[in-house]
Structure 1
């Protein structure tokens, strides 16, 4: 019996991650058949480069697919089954300011952590709400799979704006990247792992990782990491900043040996150390703009110009794309695979408030996630999570209420700042830089 064919819309079609996602759709055509793929973006020039590349890719690898790219919400969303969302409000130019403004004022400058994540979150909320309203206008029953950063702030805001929408799923690819990296360390297939995980987005821990025989692999992973270090699964294709990020897992394990940490925790554990290692004149945004951004767009233009894929390696990291396609597949065919997702706590972590948006493992099927309970967590981890979530919730409330006071409270609570006078200076500078994007804060 043939499986149903689906329509997919990619919101943020001009992203440098889109080629990998499109390639993943081609690779999984046997298990996740498609009839139509649409790219949607509000930047037509940027999207055209990716869209023309996509025409060549589909012509060679998936000729039965009906493909187009558009700036029209009606064209993009009418009849769609899944929306994959990867938008970046303000683009890389605003990301550069997110990173450089805090560094100029004595705090970490990072895309999703600290004041940079705050600024990015405040830009993302409005566009995300508008986007979902457009999707629901034309596709009331479509699944909205969101992996737009900063995912924790976005997830909390969307829960507030759409409390009864059961088909919004917030998910991040970093846990999958980590699982793949563990698989490389162990020489094993990470798709067979059964992880136990708790935390917030970019702020969590693997307590156990079981193999198919029920053996917990975390003790062995700790031993390997402590003795030989830690690298991403695709280390040969990563920029140096990412290699440095993964290397810090060993430091975190030395100080806090209970669990395998998410890489982003280093910014909260060691804010002064990490700040000292960042170049205020050349940040990760510059690295991306001068590296992946330039390379992806150049290669897409070359492929479109010659009309064939050739030997191009424009797709260098499939983890991001493959994950979201596999997630859609698990939902579409009720496969109930295990993924780490962002959901409302509701007792999953028993000593944390019910309304916290936590990140935990879940079976994922046609009715959405069925998350696994974690039970009671230790005082150290509870304290870290409560402080971080308070920052995230206050950020969301600052946006909805236009509250300067809550924005200041949020940044003061963030572990990368802590000092209220520093927080005020940073907030005022970010308000000035983001006046085209943020609501007015009074």
Structure 2
């Protein structure tokens, strides 16, 4: 779903390269835009042909026909497109709050637009492909995945932050990515790497050595001070910068073009490139689009859900590993959260779903923030499902990046005004 995305060729390339891990007979790209489907679908077929993949690629706007009999459904939607993202990243700044598409007020706006659409798709999947797994890459992944699981769907959420850290740490340690097991814990876009073990969850923890030898470089990649990383003794995801350096980020966002504007310009160029009948591989420009390693994470997760874990490939690059970082139900893993909260941790993944691995007690410095954002996500999902100005206000007031009643009031009005066409209750 969202097969007309300019990022789809990254997914296609992964399916083609890793066809021994995840054999595909037919891949259906679904999108309401016939123009995008024609361009992306054409390139997708050329990529499969060049790499000798025997599978068929079909394009359609008919959701029911696409879902019928599917084994897995991947969701990569952007309701409202880049235009809505541009708004999410802009109007919160008017109140001095971070403008970002997955957290804060912008993230709530995206959740309100997205959850009803995703649940409609999931009901069709339940009716037409009841045994299919839904893999959600649609942001905000934690809230969307919780909506799916709360409604009883077979769903697992996926983010590329963990696999990015895995690849980075493997490079620094001089080992294969498959040898790196992350102590990854938190909520989607609110996570910390608390250990980096070699060979599995019981292996030697190399995080202290990584921080001693490469801490400043790791911090630089996150746009955070090296002194902070050394004091924490863990590696936060780059989304934590919105919390740890909020005011600094707001000033930056006010003085430079939005990420949405950059992506929109990039997408225009990518679609022009995709229309070239001679292009038969993903272009280098696509690497700047975001979502690094998404294709490999998606293949790994789908392979484990559909066929169980596989042994590592010869190059160690990808293995359909039984241990993967996913978004799934807490079920006691973090004892200070309700069981039905959706957390992002290492899990044992197989045909029956994802079961979180045990997590060491979380430092109160992190547990407190996780608990508050979980409470926000509860309220955000309630607002997405039932609507109403007061529910939107409550979610915004609860969010740690907002918190003040005057800001929450003003942001509520702005959110509703900018999203009326997508909110049935507004």
TM-score by length of 2: 0.91
> Aligned match of 2:250 in 275, 292, 295?
275
How far apart, in 2, do the equivalents of 1:51 and 1:431 lie? 35
**Partner Cα separation in structure 2 for residue 18 and residue 280 of structure 1:** 31
Task: Give, in angstroms, the shift of residue 399 of structure 1.
Answer: 2.1
What displacement does 1:249 show?
6.8
Say whether 1:247 aligns with 2:219: no
SS in 2 for 1:279: helix
Cα deviation for residue 328 of structure 1 reads: 0.9
Which residue is equivalent to 1:188? 175
Q: Is residue 158 of structure 1 aligned with residue 148 of structure 2?
A: yes
Following superposition, the deviation at residue 77 of structure 1 comes to 1.2
Q: What is the aligned counterpart of 1:198 among 185, 193, 202?
A: 185
Q: 1:64 to 1:42 in 2, by over 3 A?
A: same
Q: 1:312 to 1:96 in 2, by over 3 A?
A: closer
Distance in 1 of aligned mates of 2:298 and 2:229: 29
CA contact (8 A) 1:196 1:208 kept: yes
Which residue in 1 is equivalent to 2:74? 84
Q: CA RMSD in A?
A: 2.1
Structure 1 residue ranges without an equivalent (≥5) = 1-10, 232-242
CA distance in structure 2 between the partners assigned to 1:74 and 1:330 by the alignment:
25
Cα shift readout 1:127-179 (whole Å, capped 9, x = no counterpart) = 1001111222221111111110011111222233x23x3x2111211111122
Structure 2 counterpart of 1:422, from 402, 407, 414 = 407
> Which of 29, 39, 62 pairs up with 1:39?
29
Return the match for 1:371 from 349, 356, 362: 356
Whether 2:58 is the aligned partner of 1:58: answer: no
Q: Which residue of 1 aligns with 2:139?
A: 149
Q: Deviations over 1:271-293 (max 9, x none)?
A: 112111113662110111123x1
Q: Distance in 2 between matches of 1:315 and 1:23?
A: 12
Counterpart for residue 313 of structure 2? none
Within the candidate set 306, 309, 312, 2:280 is matched to 309
Mean Cα displacement is larger for which, 18-27 or 334-343?
334-343
Mark the CA change 1:249 to 1:345 in structure 2 (over 3 Å): closer, same or farther.
Answer: farther
Q: Which runs of 4+ in 1 moved over 6 A?
A: none
CA distance in 2: counterparts of 1:41 and 1:51, whole angstroms = 11
Once the two structures are TM-superposed, the CA of residue 21 in structure 1 deviates from its matched residue by 0.3
The Cα shift of 1:437 comes to 0.7
The answer to whether the Cα contact below 8 Å between 1:197 and 1:360 also exists between their aligned partners in 2 is yes
User: For the structure 1 residues 380 and 142, does the alpha-carbon distance in structure 2 shift closer, same or farther, using more than 3 Å as the test?
Assistant: same
Distance 1:152 1:251 in 2: 30
When residues 283 and 78 of structure 1 are mapped into structure 2, their CA distance, relative to the original with a 3 A threshold, is same
Deviations 1:373-411 (A, max 9, x none): 214323222211111111111011112222322211211
1:134 to 124, 132, 136: 124
Task: Tell me if the contact between 1:351 and 1:376 (Cα under 8 Å) persists in the aligned partners.
Answer: no
2:217 corresponds to 1:228 = yes
| 1:114 positional shift | 0.8
Q: Aligned residue pairs: how many?
A: 410
Match for residue 219 of structure 1? 208
8 A Cα contact 2:116 2:385, kept in partner:
no
Q: Distance in 2 between matches of 1:371 and 1:98?
A: 32
| CA distance in 1: counterparts of 2:383 and 2:341, whole angstroms | 17
**Paired residues for 1:371-410 under 5 Å:** 371-410=356-395
Aligned to 1:8: none
Instruction: Note if 1:299 corresponds to 2:276.
Output: no
Distance 2:292 2:367 in 1: 34
Question: Does residue 165 of structure 2 align to residue 178 of structure 1?
Answer: yes
TM-score, reference length from structure 1: 0.87
Question: Is residue 53–residue 300 contact of structure 1 (8 Å, CA) maintained in 2?
Answer: yes
Asked whether the 8 Å contact 2:21–2:299 carries over to 1, the reply is no
Q: Give me the whole-angstrom Cα distance separating, in 2, the residues matched to 1:249 and 1:143.
A: 41
Which secondary structure does the structure 2 equivalent of 1:52 belong to?
helix
- 1:94 and 2:84 correspond: yes
CA distance in 2 between partners of 1:31 and 1:103 (Å): 44
Q: Does 1:330 align with 2:304?
A: yes
**1:342: how far off?**
1.3
8 Å Cα contact 1:19/1:314 also seen in 2: no
